[in-house]
Structure formats: C-alpha cells, structure tokens
Amino acid sequence: MALTRRTLASGAVAALAAPVAAARETSLKAAARRSGRLYGCAVEPHRLDEDTGFAALAARECAALIPENAMKWDTVRHAEGRFDFAAADRLLAQADAMGAVVHGHCLLWHEALPAWFPERPDERLLRGHVGAVVGRYAGRVRSWDVVNEAVERNDRRPDGLRRSPWLETLGPAYLRMAFEAAHEADPAARLALADYGLEYDDVVWMTEKRGTMLALLGGLVKAGVPIHALSIQGHLRGEQAPSFGRPLADFLRRVADLGLEIYVTELDVRDDATAGDAARRDRNVADHYRRFLDTALAEPAVRMVCTWGLSDRYSATADFFPRPDGARGRPLPFDADLRPKPAAKAMRQAFGRI
Ligand code: G3I
C-alpha cells in the first residue's frame, strides 16, 4: 500500500509498525522469559549461515541454542588423533551474536561415533574428550548433556543401564567419570543426564523407565556426583493419546526433589502416522505441545524448553520419519515457510499460563 502524505500524517505508520513490535513481544523467547524460563532450539550452524530468513527467525524466537550435531564425536573427532571444533565454534559465535545461551549436546553417547572409535574405550579417552570439549567452552556453555541415553531396560541389567561401549568397558562408574571430568573442566556449567521415553503416562515401558531413571539419578546424587539436571528429550508422537497427566507431574516433582533442574531439550511431535490435511495435523500437533507443556511447566524445576529444530524446513524428525502419503512432516512450531503454526501459539500460551 503506497504511503500517502495523509497516511503518514495520520500516524497510521505506527499502526503498520505495531505488528512487528507485537511479533517481538509474542516471541517464544519473550513468552518463556515471562515465565522465568528459556526457550530455544537445536540447530546446525551452517543452516544459520546459509539461510538468512531462518537465522532471523531463530534470533527472534530463541534464547538458547543446542548444537544438533556440531559437538558430537562424529563431528568433533571425525579424524583420529585430532579435534575439529569448526562447527561448534561457529555455533558459539552465532549464539553470542544472538545473545543466546548454549546447551552443549552431547559429550558421551553410544551413537554418532567415528569409524576409528575403539571397541573398548578407556577412561583416558573418556576424560580426555570431555575435558577438552568442555574446557574449550568453559564459561561460554551454560549447560551440557554429559551422557545421552544411558538407560536401556531391554539390555536386561539390574540397574537398567544401556550396554554401551562405555558401560561395557568401564562399568557404571563411567557416568561418574564423565560428570567429574566435565565439572573439573568447567565448574560453572550445569551438567545433565539426557534421555528419551519418559514422557507418556500410558506407555508401560516409559513409566517403568521413569522408575529406573529416578533410581539412577538418586544414586548419582547420593554418591556426590556433580549432576545438576535431567534432560528429557520430549520426542512426542502425534498418533498417540497425549497422556501427560498426574503421573508425569509426579515424576517431574520427584526429579526436582533430588535437587535437580529439568530441561526439555528435543521437543517435537511426529505426525507421520496421523491422518488428515496439514491444518488438521497442525491442530493435533499443537494439542500435544499444549498438553505436554501444561504439565511440564507446572513444575518450577523445569527451567528450559527447546524444540528439536524450529521450522519444518529443517527437521530431522520429518526427515527420519517420512509420511506414507509423501507430504512432509510438520513436527515443529514454525512451518517450512517460517510462518508460526498453531503449535507456536500453543507454546506461547502454555508459557503464559504459568
Ligand atoms: O554432515 C554429513 C554430510 O556431510 C554427509 O554427506 C551425510 C551423509 O551421510 O551425513 C551428514 O551427517 C549426518 C548428520 O545427521 C547431519 O545431517 C549424519 O550422517 C547423521 O547420522 C546425523 O543424524 C543426526 C542423529 O542425531 C545422529 O547423530 C540427526 O541430524 C540428529 O537430529 C539426531 O539427533 C538425535 C539427538 O542427538 C539425540 N536424541 C535423538 C535425536 C534424533 O535422532
């Protein structure tokens, strides 16, 4: 619309500018901040460099960034005998430019290991890796997923621990070693144990895993291991009943009663198995975000919520779980054209209700 002299004189420009200001005020970052939390997302640094529209959206919406892959072994240690911090350094610079904090992910995992990784990794390799990575970013990374996915009840250990290369070589003590090495390298960093499959009240293996996780966390805290948080990944399934009620609330409270913070670090909603057009799927995805966050955010110990991506344009979940009808998955708060979806509104409202 051409701005005529009369329009300019009438002060209508202020009205035109209002939506921009309003967008800033209703950002997920602002909504989360008003509830005393951080909101952020997982990103690949090259996406922020290559896609200015996406970078602007992330800067507007996110107060935290998680390196989706930039700090994993197969990125940082792809070549034996040396470290490659280029991607991780870039993400730290991008976060600094955005005024966002960084949640590091992940120091030890049984996946994303380089081809040279030994069958029996020893304590020297563990402590050397954790110390080098955490030490490089000491004072700049707010928190870390120190160990990712340590629990796997199907491995049939009495303690429910996953039979990872770390476990098989070093025993359960590998957990203490990892947290100690991270704490020594950066005493100010908040150190988390991360896992999936803790979200749904009506999935038996998940409720059983909650019990295993509570016992594990309690043992680590009792042993004086420097652990400060549980990261709940939060990968939700749109075709499942959104059962996020009192049992989830009680689980979160029991984690908090151990003196731990809680981070939701990989929130998204798979919609590859849900029927309907995009509008209907979006409403269902939004309902999952709303119900999960209404329960999670009622727990004061929940201090950060991050989605595993920000826009459906870049979603590993949509990539990994393609829909049979060929339509692209829509698991995130913003669509592939970077427009807010019902899920974004549901998240803003959930932050606002607390
Ligand atoms: O960058 C290389 C590229 O150069 C190469 O051509 C291509 C071909 O294989 O691979 C690219 O790397 C891939 C990387 O994603 C970046 O796209 C890796 O192979 C692939 O394994 C990696 O997948 C990541 C996966 O973790 C394994 O690390 C996903 O992006 C990432 O979203 C996913 O995230 C995990 C969390 O870390 C833990 N919780 C579950 C979550 C989803 O699986």
For the whole model, what pTM was predicted?
Answer: 0.93
- Residue 354, pLDDT score: 58
Give yes or no for residue 145 CB within 6 A of ligand 1. no
**Residue 282 neighbours by CB distance under 10 Å:** 21
* Residue of 68, 180, 261, 266 marked catalytic: 266
Q: How far from 163 is each of 158, 273, 311, CA to CA, in Å? A: 12, 31, 34
Are the beta carbons of 175 and 149 closer than 8 angstroms? no
Q: What is the pLDDT of residues 37-71, one digit of tens each?
A: 999 999 999 999 999 999 999 999 999 999 999 99
Q: Which two tokens stand for residue 303?
A: 């201090």
Specify whether 149 is catalytic.
yes
For residue 68, report the distance from its CA to the centre of ligand 1, in Å.
8
Query: Which stretches in the chain have pLDDT values below 70?
Result: 1-25, 354
How confident is the model at residue 25, as a pLDDT?
Answer: 53
Task: Evaluate: CB of 72 within 6 angstroms of ligand 1.
Answer: yes
Residue type, 342: P
Distance from C-alpha of 35 to C-alpha of 353, rounded to nearest angstrom: 8
Instruction: For ligand 1, atom 37, name the residue with the nearest CA.
Output: 68
Of the residues 68, 149, 152, 261, only one is catalytic, namely 149
69 Cα–ligand 1 center, Å = 6
pLDDT at residue number 3 = 42
Tokens of 270: 């798979």
Active site residue 50: no
Nearest atom in ligand 1 to 308's CA: 32
Residue 15 confidence (pLDDT) = 47
**What's the pLDDT score for residue 305?**
99
Q: Which amino acid is it at 10?
A: S
What is the rounded CA–CA span in Å between residue 161 and residue 8?
Answer: 67
Q: Residue 26: its pLDDT value, please? A: 84
The alpha carbon of 320 and the centre of ligand 1 are apart by a number of angstroms equal to 10
- SS3 track for the chain: CCCCHHHHHCCHHHHHHHHHHHHHHCCHHHHHHHCCCEEEEEECHHHHHHCHHHHHHHHHHCCEEEECCCCCHHHHCCCCCCCCCHHHHHHHHHHHHHCCEEEEEEEECCCCCCCCCCCCCCHHHHHHHHHHHHHHCCCCCCEEEEEECCECHHHCCCCCECCCHHHHHHCCHHHHHHHHHHHHHCCCCEEEEEECCCCCCCCHHHHHHHHHHHHHHHHHHHCCCCCCEEEECCEEECCCCCCCCHHHHHHHHHHHCCCCEEEEEEEEEECCCCCCCHHHHHHHHHHHHHHHHHHHCCCCCEEEEEECCCECCCCHHHHHCCCCCCCCCCCCCECCCCCECHHHHHHHHHHHHC
Residue 61 in contact with ligand 1 by CB distance below 6 A: no
**Structure confidence at residue 56 (pLDDT):** 98
Residue nearest to atom 38 of ligand 1 (CA): 148
Instruction: Encode pLDDT of 320-338 as tens digits.
Output: 999 999 999 999 999 999 9
CA distances to 54, 230, 232, 268, 300 from 69, rounded to whole Å, are 18, 20, 18, 17, 29
For a ligand 1 pocket test, name from 69, 164, 232 the mutation site with the most ligand atoms within 8 angstroms of its C-beta.
69
> Is residue 319 lining ligand 1, measured as CB closer than 6 Å?
no
User: Is the Cβ atom of 59 under 6 angstroms away from ligand 1?
Assistant: no
